[in-house]
Amino acid sequence: MRIQLDKELSKAYARCVYLQLLEIELPESYEDSIVLTQVEVQNSKMKKFEQEAAIIRRQIDILRSENDQLIKLINATGKAEAYKLIQAAKVCFLIFFITVLGQRNSEYNRCRISSIQTYC
């Protein structure tokens, strides 16, 4: 627009170096068209952001699900290890108890045998 004005003014030996428009009157239909175009651009961007937000929510759901599975696995492993330790402790106790009883019984049997031999 400035270039066209500069060409026209050059015919009168004048120049237009800078041009600033303070007010433009456009037909109503043209303004409505610009507004509708901007609204569509904004709606398009908003739909894009909504889709991205939905994707992020799904990724969060997936991460939560994976973490829940890991938590269940860790808890189950911990419970299994605790059960294993308890069972091992019970076995050790029983072995110790049987050993102690066996020693007592052998001492009892020795005493009994020696007392029988004494009387015989």
Residue 39 is assigned to a structural domain of this protein: yes
Q: Would you call 6 exposed, middle or buried from its count of C-beta atoms within 10 A (0-12, 13-18, 19+)?
A: middle
Residue 48 is assigned to a structural domain of this protein: yes
**Whole-number Å distance between alpha carbons of 106 and 99:** 10
Report pLDDT for 106.
63
Report pLDDT for 94.
84
Report pLDDT for 48.
97
| Residues in the chain, total | 120
Residue 45 is assigned to a structural domain of this protein: yes
> Which residues form the domain of 31?
25-119
Q: What is the pLDDT of residues 36-89, one digit of tens each?
A: 999 999 999 999 999 999 999 999 999 999 999 999 999 999 999 999 999 998
